[in-house]
Structure 1
Amino acid sequence: MGLFNFIKSQFIEVIEWTDSSSNVMVYQFPVENKEIKMGAQLTVRESQMAVFVDEGQLTDVFTPGRYTLDTQNLPVLTKLKSWKYGFNSPFKSEIYFVNTKQFTNCKWGTTNPIMMRDAEFGMIRIRMFGVYSFKVADPTVFLREVFGTSSLFTVDGITGQLKSKIVSGVADLLAEAAIPALDLSSKYDEIASMSKKKLDESFKKLGLSLESIVIENISLPEEVEKVLDKRTSMGIIGDSLNQYTRYQAAESIRDAAQNPGGMAGVGVGMGAGMGIGNIFAEAFSTQQQKQPQPTTSTAPAKIKCSSCGASIPEQAKFCLECGTKVAPAITKCSSCGNELPANSKFCLECGQKQ
C-alpha cells in the first residue's frame, strides 16, 4: 500500500449506497482491506437495510437512519470482540446493503403445457402466464438462504426459482379446485388470491415476501381452441348431425372457391363435386324430413238445435246458445228396435216409417 492510500484509509469514512439501478437486491460496500474505522458514519436510506458481517458471521442489522459505528451501535460485534473499553482501532468486517423495495413486473409462466383433468373435456393441457412482485422481508434469512456473501446480487439471480415456485403452486391449486376449463377466465382474481396465500410460506423461508401475483391468461392448446371455435360456430346454427354435415359441406365449398382453379384446384375433380352435392342433398332431405308436416284438421260434425236453430257440435248434450237438451244422435226403430241415426225417416232394417 502506498503512503497516500495508507493516509487515506485512516480518515473517518462515510458508508452509504445510492442505488442507481432497478434490479440490484444486495450490494457490498467496498472498504479498503475491509478495515472499517471505529467512528465511521453509516447512512441507511429508506427502502434499504444494512447488514454487518464479521469473519463470515452476521452480527448486526441497521434499519433506515444515520449511525456512528462505535461500541454503542455495535453491541453484538462489541461482545464478540470484547471491546469493553471502546477500542478505536479499525476492525475487519463487511457491510451489505439490502434493497427492501418492491421488485415489480416480474414475469412468470409455464415453459411447457401442464396436464390437467377437466370434467367436460377430459385430459387437457393448459398454459398460463402473468406477473408478480416481491421484496426482501427478512435480510438475515435472505443472506443465509440465498445470496450468501456475494459482492453483488441482482433480481436475475432469484427470479428463475421464484417463477418455478409460482407455476407449481398455481398448477397445484387449479388441480385441487377442479374449476372447469371454460370457467377459468372468470376466476383469475380468486385463483391469484388463493395462490398468494399458498405461496406466502415458501417465500418466507427465503426471507422474501410475495406482494402480489396477477394471472394474465390461462389458455388451452391451439388444437383444442380450434375445436372449441368450431363448436361455437355450430352452436349458432344448431348442434345436430344434420347441421354439422351442412356446416362441413359449406366449409368445403368455401375452401374450394378460394382455390385459383376452383373445384378442380382442390384436386378432386367432378367426383368431389358430386360428393359434396350428395352431402347437400342428404342434409336438406334430412332437414325436410325433420320439419313438421302441416296437418289438415277436420272440423267436427255439427247439428242444429231443435229449439233455437243454432249450430252446435254433434256430440254436445246441450245447446250452447239456449241451453236446450239436445236429442240423442241415435234413436231406435219404433217397429223392430233397430238403432238408427237421429232424424231418420225410415228404418234401414224393416222399412217402417219413423
Structure 2
Amino acid sequence: MSFFRNQFANVVEWQEFRDDMIFYKWSNREIKKGSRLIIRPGQDAIFLNNGKIEGVFRDEGEYDIESQIIPFLSTLKGFKFGFNSGMRVEVLFVNTKEFIVKWGTKNAINIPAPGLPGGMPIRANGTFNFKVDDYIALIDQIAGVRDQYVVEDVRIRITSVLDQLLMKWITREGKDMFNLQSNAFEISKGIQEDLDMQMIKSGITITGFNVMSFSYPKEVQEMITKNASHGMVGNIDRYQQISITDGLASGKMSGGGTASDMAGMMMGMNMANKMLNQMNQQQQNQPAPSQNDGTTSQMRPSEQKRPNFCPNCGTKTGEGNFCSNCGHKLT
C-alpha cells in the first residue's frame, strides 16, 4: 500500500499564504515524479539542497518540476526520477512585496536636556518599510533554522534597538528639544541608515523610516503650547489679555467672586493703558512746525490772540492793543 502511495504526484506551493509572512519553507517532503510547482503573484520560489541554493524561480505560474524546473537546477539538473524514488529538496517561498510596519516606543526615552538632570522623557511613533533583498543572507541567517518568518519578528527586532537610535539622532548636533518635529526628517533619515546596516546582514533592506510625531510630558507640552501662543501674539500684555478672555469665555472666571472682579479690573486697566499709549503715540507722531531758513516761524504780535478782558483791571477790551480804562498793554 505504501509503495503506491509514494508514487502519487504532489503539488509544491505556499498553501497558507499570509500577507504578514515573509517566507515559508516547504520541507521534509519528497518531490515525486509528475509533481508541479505553483508560484503565485508576489512570490519567489527557491530550491535548496543541503542548505545551498539550487535555483531561484520568479515568474508566477504552474510548472512541471521534472521538465521545467530540474533542468535549471545547479547540481541537480541531471536528476532522474526512478520507479520508486523521489527528490528530496526544500523549497523556500519568499514574499517579494514591500512591508509597511507601524512602530512606537514602549517606554519614554529620557533625552538629555538643559536644566533637567534626569533628562526629558519623550515618546515617538511612526512607520518603517522593508523588503527581502538578499536571499543568500536570508537563508544563512534566518531561513536555515526557521520554517517561517513573519513581520512581527522583524518589528520586535527593530524596536529592540530603536530607543538607542532615537536618542543618538535626537541629541546629535544640539537639536532643539522643544521642537523635535522640525528635525523629524533628518532624524528619520539617520535612523533608517543605521537600521539598514543592521538588517542587511539578514538579507533585509530598510527601504523607509518615518517619525510621525514626538510626544512630550503633559506639563512640557502645555509650556510649549503657551510659548507658541506668546510668540504668536507678539508680547506678554496681549498674551495676558487673551488668557483672561479665554478664561472668561470658558467660564473659569465667571461669577461675582474675587477672581472675576480682578480679571475685570485688569482688563479695564489694560484697555485704559492701551488708550493712553495710543494717544501719546499720536501726539509724538504729529509733524513738527515748519522751518524756514533754519529758524522757527513765530506769530507776529498782531497775530497773537487778544484777551477779551483786561488782565489788569477787568475791563472788556476792544480792537486796540491797550486797555481803554487803565492803559495796560493787551498783546
* TM, length-normalised to structure 1: 0.61
The residue that corresponds to 1:209 in the other structure is 205
Q: 1:228 to 1:312 in 2, by over 3 A?
A: closer
Deviation, 1:71, is 9.9
Residue 247 (structure 2) pairs with residue 252 (structure 1): yes
Deviation, 1:30, is 5.6
Deviation, 1:72, is 8.3
Q: 1:49 to 1:169 in 2, by over 3 A?
A: farther
The residue that corresponds to 2:308 in the other structure is none
Aligned mate of 1:23, from 20, 23, 26? 20
Which amino acid in the other structure matches residue 102 of structure 1? K
Q: 1:96 to 1:222 in 2, by over 3 A?
A: farther
The residue that corresponds to 1:131 in the other structure is 127
Is 1:98–1:139's contact at 8 Å kept on the other side of the alignment?
A: no
Deviation, 1:203, is 0.7
Deviation, 1:101, is 0.9
Q: 1:290 to 1:85 in 2, by over 3 A?
A: closer
The residue that corresponds to 2:73 in the other structure is 73
Aligned mate of 2:108, from 109, 113, 118? 113
Aligned mate of 2:30, from 30, 35, 47? 35
Aligned mate of 2:227, from 201, 212, 231? 231
Which amino acid in the other structure matches residue 45 of structure 2? M
Is 2:188–2:209's contact at 8 Å kept on the other side of the alignment?
A: yes
Task: Work out the CA distance in 1 between the residues paired with 2:246 and 2:123.
Answer: 30
The residue that corresponds to 2:255 in the other structure is 263
Is 1:50–1:63's contact at 8 Å kept on the other side of the alignment?
A: yes
* TM, length-normalised to structure 2: 0.64
Residue 132 (structure 2) pairs with residue 172 (structure 1): no
Question: Percent identity of the aligned residues?
Answer: 19
For residues 47-66 of structure 1, the aligned pairs below 5 Å read: 47-52=43-48, 54=50, 58-64=51-57
Task: Work out the CA distance in 2 between the residues paired with 1:298 and 1:221.
Answer: 56
- Of structures 1 and 2, the one scoring higher in RCO (CA 8 A, sep 6+) is 2
For residues 131-170 of structure 1, the aligned pairs below 5 Å read: 131-166=127-162, 168-170=164-166
Deviation, 1:229, is 2.7
Which amino acid in the other structure matches residue 73 of structure 2? N
Q: 1:202 to 1:20 in 2, by over 3 A?
A: same
Q: Could you say what secondary structure the match of 1:215 adopts?
A: strand
1:185-211 residue CA offsets vs partner (Å, 9 max, x unmatched): 454444433332222110112221112
Q: Could you say what secondary structure the match of 1:217 adopts?
A: strand
Task: Work out the CA distance in 2 between the residues paired with 1:152 and 1:178.
Answer: 43
1:214-272 residue CA offsets vs partner (Å, 9 max, x unmatched): 333334444433333323333344323x444434433433343x68xx415xxxx3x33
Which consecutive residues of structure 2, in runs of 5 or more, have no partner in the other structure?
Answer: 298-331
Which consecutive residues of structure 1, in runs of 5 or more, have no partner in the other structure?
Answer: 79-83, 303-309, 316-354
Is 1:120–1:180's contact at 8 Å kept on the other side of the alignment?
A: no
Q: Could you say what secondary structure the match of 1:105 adopts?
A: strand
Task: Work out the CA distance in 1 between the residues paired with 2:5 and 2:101.
Answer: 42
The residue that corresponds to 1:326 in the other structure is none
Which amino acid in the other structure matches residue 27 of structure 1? Y
Q: CA RMSD of the aligned region, Å?
A: 4.4
Q: Please say which structure displays the higher CA radius of gyration.
A: 1
Q: Could you say what secondary structure the match of 1:63 adopts?
A: strand
Which amino acid in the other structure matches residue 247 of structure 2? S
Task: Work out the CA distance in 1 between the residues paired with 2:207 and 2:287.
Answer: 75
